[in-house]
Each structure stands twice: as C-alpha cells, then as structure tokens.
A and B are shown apart, each in its own frame.
Chain A
Amino acid sequence: MAMTATVEHADPHHLGRAVEHAGPAPKHIVTAYGFWIFLLSDIVMFSCFFAAYAVLVHQVADGPKGAEIFDLRNVAVETICLLLSSFACGMASIAADLRNRLWFYLSMTVTCVLGLAFLAMEFREFADLVSRGYGPSRSAFLTAFFSLVGCHGLHVSAGVLWLLTMMAQVFAKGFRADIMRRMTCFALFWHALDIIWVAVFSVVYLLGGAA
C-alpha cells in the first residue's frame, strides 16, 4: 500500500512514469554527479594543454622533432599498463559493491602496481630526455610536451596516493556508505585519467611523432 501511495505522489498525472521527485536525490548520486562535473572541468583544463601542444608542435627552435625523441614501444607498454589498471580498478569497484575484502585489496593492489609501473616508465622517459639536453626549456614544442604529459603524470601520481588512501580507509573503517561514495569517485577519476591518456598517446605520440 505504501508503495502505491508513493507512485501516485510521484506521478500525479498518471503518465505511467515519474515526473516529479519526492525529494532530493540520494547522497551517493549527488556526490558522484558533483565529481563528474569536476572531472569534466579537469578535462576542459587538459584541453587547454592539448591546444597549446597542437599550436606549438612545429616550433622546435632547431631542437629535436617529436619523431626523433619518441619511443613508441615504450608508449605502447605504458598504454597497456594504464588500460589493465583501469580494468583492475573496475574489478575493485565490483568487489567493493559485493563487500568482498580479499578481491578488493587484490584488485586495488594490481591497480596500484600498474599505475606505479606507468609512472616509472614515464619518469625514465623524462629523465632520459632531460639528460640529453632536451628539457622543457629547449623549445616551445618541448615545453608543451612536458607540461601536457607531465600534467597527466601528476594526476596519475595523485590517483595512486588516493588509491592507497582508499585501501587504508576500507581497512580501518570497512565498506561504510561514505567510504563507498569516495570509492565511486576514485573509480571515476582513475577511468577518466585513462580517457585523457588515450588523447595523449594519439595526439602527442602518434600524431606528434609523425609530424
């Protein structure tokens, strides 16, 4: 009986669907939606770095061109690391929903290790470029390259810290409602970083390496 009353309240014109909400949406929806808005604004910020890179890619100031310094094999392995870590993060979300601690810790550890492997490879690439004298101050192209790829790398570093925090919070507090909301946001963040990396390897390495 209670259910019928609710449906009538939410559907006063008997349209067969809800036209009016009984109240504000549940907190986990509001939180995730707000975080989705943040992610989109983060993507807009990245688009400025992409625009700068696209404009400056040919301004090499007699320095190296993209094709001379990019190692596509390295980039392919980095991409696979991030893709697999995104998948492991999805498994961690499912494990958290099922309140399965073993699979949660396992998936989060795999996510973390793959994220760290990505960061290590990117750091090695940057260190190698700088040691050859191709640092960010060498040319406008390299400035744009380091700021775009480095900005993504900083996001991944922040994501790894957040990941470890989530593991600690689940360890200390269990799968509480607020912890689950944070876990949803973390998963969104990690998957969004993968989307940005798709743009990075396509625009910076594949297109920039051919130019």
Chain B
Amino acid sequence: MSESSGHFDERADIAPGAEEEHSLRARVLGYVVGLVLALLLTATSFFIAGTDLVWQPSIPVAIVVLAIAQMGVHLVFFLHITTGPDNTNNVLALAFGLLIVFLVVGGSIWIMGHLNQNMPPMEQIMKMQ
C-alpha cells in the first residue's frame, strides 16, 4: 500500500534534472541532440559576431537571440526542464528566477543609461554651456 502510493507520487511530480522513464538509447540521443544544437548555435554566434555579411546594427540583437535560444536548448536537453504537467513546480521556480534576472539587468541598464544622459560629468556640462 505505502509502496504503491509512493509510486503514485513519482508519477505526479518529477525532479529537476530527472527524466521520465526512457530507454538508454533515447536518453543518450537526447544529450546528443542537445550537444549538436548547442554547438550549432555557438558556431553561429561566433560567426555572426565577426562577419561583415549582415547588417551591422542587427548583430547585437542576433547574438542575444542566439544566446537565449542556446540557454533554452540547455534547459530542455541537459537539465530536462520541460513544459509537461509533472514539471510545473520546476518551471514556476524558473519563471520567478527569470523575472528577478530581468528586473535586475533590465532595470540597471535602463536607470544607469538615464543617469548617464541626465547627469553628465562636469566638464561635459561646461562644454554645453
């Protein structure tokens, strides 16, 4: 009785990093797919950063997008954070972490950018007058 209820719990929740029951072949394949995708995204990032082929102002945006995509690949294929119902707790914790990260990084860049603009060093104010 207690053994089977424990089993029921395992079906209802899954630990971060844990996978649902898969064959060895499927698990190894998951890591291989993740590695190939990550290598491709990395190679694209480094290529984009040093190329003259694309419109230059688009490069920072492309690097940020590629980085976010690669973090997603790592989360799904290496950390096994998925959108499945057994993963809700893990995803909610991740979502809260991301909220704080965006507040800290976005807020700092935003506020410090305005400070730089509104309060330039003294010699720059003298030049403007």
Contacts and interface: CB of A to CB of B under 8 A. Distances in A.
Nearest to A20: B12
Interface string A174-208: 00000000001001100110110011011100110
Interface residues of B, number: 55
Contacts, number: 157
Interface stretch (A37-45, A126-134, A146-154, A155-163): A37-45
A210 B8 contact: no
Contacts of A206: 45-46, 49, 63
B100 A47 contact: yes
Interface of B: 1, 4-6, 8-18, 24, 27-28, 31-32, 34-35, 38-39, 42, 45-46, 49-50, 59-60, 63-64, 66-67, 70-71, 74-75, 78-79, 89-90, 93-94, 96-97, 100-101, 104-105, 107-109, 112
B120 to A, nearest CB: 13
A43 B8 contact: no
Contacts of B74: 86, 191, 194-195, 198
Contacts of B100: 44, 47
Chain A interface: which size bin?
A: 35 or more
Given A6-B1, A18-B11, A191 B90 contact: no
12 contacts: A18-B8, A21-B9, A28-B18, A43-B101, A47-B100, A79-B42, A83-B35, A83-B39, A90-B34, A184-B18, A192-B79, A202-B64
Contacts of A80: 39, 42
Contact of A202 (B32, B45, B93): B45
Q: Is the interface of A mostly helix, strand, loop or mixed?
A: helix
A48 B105 CA distance: 7
B76 to A, nearest CB: 11
A203 B45 CA distance: 11
Given A94-B24, A194-B78, A51 B96 contact: no
A25 interface: yes
Contacts of B50: 72
A83 B50 CA distance: 21
Given A32-B16, A83-B38, A55 B11 contact: no
